Amino acid sequence: MRRLLPALLALLLLPSAPAREFTVVAYNVENLFDLDGQAGYEDYQASRYRPAHALTKLQTIARVLAQYEAGRGPDVVLLSELEVDRTPGATPPDYAALLAPFAGVSLADLLGPRFSPAVADLPAEALLLHALHDAGLKGYQVVVADAVSAPGTSRPQEIRCAVLTRFPVRSTRSHPTVDARAILEVELEVDGARFRVFSNHWKSGASDPATEPTRIENARTLRGRLDALLATDPQADLILGGDLNSQYNQRLRYPRMGRTAINDVLGSQGDELAVRRPGPGLYNLWFELPAAQRGSDTYRGEWGTLIHLLVSRGLYDRAGVQYIDNSFAVGIFPALNADAKGLPLRWEFTRPAGRGASDHFPVSARFRTVPDGRPDQWVELRNPSDGRTTGTARRTINYATFDLPRLAVDVSRLAPAASIRTEQNKGKLFRVEGRVLPGERLMVEFRGEAYDVWSFDEDLRRRLRADHPAGATLRCYGELGLYRDRWQFVIQDPAWVK
């Protein structure tokens, strides 16, 4: 026994494995399609969507992900809106084998001078792996959700969820849900610690009460799986993410909906300390930010929070994987995925190769492995959220603060007869001065062409119409847009009228 004591003492004195930190990103890449010419969306038919467009989209996604981990990229990415391959092979793809014939050839060459039927047949996720490798983001494997739907679904899936990971994959499972993409569950392992991620893309229409019952069904699918896992291990390490097409404060923001999917069924809430108590509650990481900074997408002059990361109780104990307090962030990268106004630089089919990134900013959070092995102890939190939403339920875009003269296109540099009605000018800001034309619509003549004048603010529209009869001069700033084949200037704020 005495001879055993030194050995036991030596074991006790062995240094524990160091904690390892990593980043998880949730990112809706706005319809990443392949080039096989078979697409369920009209914009991605071969007549419009060309290899140059795909190259721009893929390289931009890679550049966005390269903003994390000092250019190395996040270790885990929960992706939304990858095309369901309409020309699949007979067996699930072996991506390494698919890409092996193209090793050493850049994606720019594959989608340029060396484009071929074999390249066109590659699924979107294989093309993305190649783009990431070109950008120095290496070591990923990809898991895609099955294109399966629950009974009662009205149409086949055109897009699906996926997970990119550098960590070993221990198991995968797709959960069909009604009228939405299957929820993808992936069990991962890092330094011996196992955790699960869930990549989601629920039914669209966050503000529409008619579609909330479908999102409730989507939430029930996910909640049922979480309850089964937590019944076995109440402190399981679970990370939920993706496009839930719901606001973090859905119940407060749209009170006429009554019961909501994200808050009432899934159990998303903002009391960070509540996850220490028994129960099914999940902490929504949007509450890590001040209310005035919560936003990943925009719609009609308001910020939305459709992309989410939520965590379970187990990510706050001192065992397995742990959330790093206050690490949640929105990925806003000027001139890459954000325009000069700080808004999402969404994808557009402008110019021969298109431009833009996505209509959603990615969100991220950092985690670490914990060598303590103490599920009975909790991480110390700095300024934990109490779940209260400060300010108003809605966060509007403050268009009145924009530096309009700096942002506006300098039309003096254009040829006098040059039309601004081009794809590349859509969404750009112009200083408008022109004669109001007769007719029921408010229209203005600008550089020899007629444009509708529109605002989402009904009171502003009414006032503009009353103050500017036919023949009057209208002076304003407006964003150039195209709606139902009519070109228009959109006035986003009363301060834009001069």
Confidence of residue 17 (pLDDT cuts 50, 70, 90): low
- Confidence (pLDDT) at 180: 95
Candidate from 214-218, 281-285, 386-390, 399-403 with smallest mean pLDDT: 386-390
**Nearest 5 degrees, angle CA 125-CA 169-CA 66?**
50
Confidence of residue 10 (pLDDT cuts 50, 70, 90): very low
Confidence of residue 388 (pLDDT cuts 50, 70, 90): confident
- Confidence (pLDDT) at 301: 87
- Confidence (pLDDT) at 14: 43
CA dihedral 451, 455, 456, 458 (to 10 degrees): -120
60: helix, coil or strand? helix
How many Cα neighbours within 13 Å face the side chain of 230?
22
The answer, yes or no, to whether residue 3 has pLDDT greater than 70, is no
CA dihedral 76, 77, 78, 83 (to 10 degrees): -130
Confidence of residue 148 (pLDDT cuts 50, 70, 90): confident
Confidence of residue 283 (pLDDT cuts 50, 70, 90): very high
Of 299, 310, 330, 331, which Cα lies nearest the Cα of 262?
310
pLDDT top residue among 456 and 24: 24
The answer, yes or no, to whether residue 4 has pLDDT greater than 70, is no
Tokens standing for residue 493? 């704020």
Place of tokens 């009604």: 178
- Confidence (pLDDT) at 393: 84
pTM of this prediction?
0.90
- Taking a C-beta distance cutoff of 8 angstroms, is the pair 209, 249 a contact? no
Confidence of residue 394 (pLDDT cuts 50, 70, 90): confident
Give strand ranges (E) for 19-158: 21-32, 76-83, 141-144
What average pLDDT score do residues 320-337 get? 97
DSSP string, 347-395: -B--TTT-B---SS--EEEEEEEEEEEEEEEE---SS--BS---S-SSE
Confidence of residue 7 (pLDDT cuts 50, 70, 90): very low
What are residue 205's phi and psi, to 5 degrees? 95, 50
The answer, yes or no, to whether residue 12 has pLDDT greater than 70, is no
pLDDT top residue among 436 and 300: 436
pLDDT top residue among 178 and 498: 178
Query: pLDDT (tens digit, 9 = 90+) per residue, 50-71?
Result: 999 999 999 999 999 999 999 9
Q: State percent of the chain over pLDDT 70.
A: 96
What average pLDDT score do residues 78-97 get? 92
Output b/e per residue, 168-204; b: 16+ Cβ within 10 A.
eeeeeebbbbbbbbbbbbbbbebbebbbbbbbbbbbe
What are residue 293's phi and psi, to 5 degrees? -115, 5
* pLDDT, mean over the chain: 93
Sequence-separated (6 or more) residues with CB below 8 Å from residue 232: none
Sequence-separated (6 or more) residues with CB below 8 Å from residue 433: 446, 473, 474, 475
Which residue type, as a one-letter code, is found at position 91?
A: T
Q: How far apart are alpha carbons 28 and 307 in whole angstroms?
A: 8
- Confidence (pLDDT) at 332: 98
158: helix, coil or strand? coil
Confidence of residue 391 (pLDDT cuts 50, 70, 90): low
> Which class is domain 21-396?
alpha beta
pLDDT top residue among 13 and 72: 72
The answer, yes or no, to whether residue 328 has pLDDT greater than 80, is yes
The answer, yes or no, to whether residue 284 has pLDDT greater than 90, is yes
Q: How far apart are alpha carbons 29 and 360 in whole angstroms?
A: 8
The highest-confidence range among 38-52, 54-68, 291-305, by mean pLDDT, is 54-68
What average pLDDT score do residues 426-441 get? 94
Tokens standing for residue 62? 């890679």
Of 81, 82, 365, 370, which Cα lies nearest the Cα of 240?
365
Sequence-separated (6 or more) residues with CB below 8 Å from residue 51: 35, 111, 112, 115, 119
Domain 400-496 in the same topology as domain 21-396: no
The answer, yes or no, to whether residue 266 has pLDDT greater than 80, is yes
Candidate from 66-75, 250-259, 331-340, 344-353 with smallest mean pLDDT: 344-353
- Confidence (pLDDT) at 379: 92
Q: In the chain, what are the domain boundaries?
A: 21-396, 400-496
Candidate from 368-382, 387-401, 404-418, 458-472 with smallest mean pLDDT: 387-401
Instruction: Let me know how many helices (H) and strands (E) the chain has, helices first.
Output: 10, 22
What average pLDDT score do residues 370-375 get? 90
109: helix, coil or strand? helix
482 forms bridges with which residues in the sheet?
487
Sequence-separated (6 or more) residues with CB below 8 Å from residue 155: 179
- Confidence (pLDDT) at 286: 97
Query: pLDDT (tens digit, 9 = 90+) per residue, 161-213?
Result: 999 999 999 999 999 999 999 999 999 999 999 999 999 999 999 999 999 99
DSSP string, 421-437: -SGGGTT-EEEEEEEEE
Candidate from 89-98, 292-301, 390-399 with smallest mean pLDDT: 390-399
- Confidence (pLDDT) at 200: 98
Query: pLDDT (tens digit, 9 = 90+) per residue, 439-451?
Result: 999 999 999 999 9
Which residue type, as a one-letter code, is found at position 85?
A: D
Place of tokens 């005495």: 2
How is domain 400-496 classified at the architecture level of CATH?
Beta Barrel (2.40)
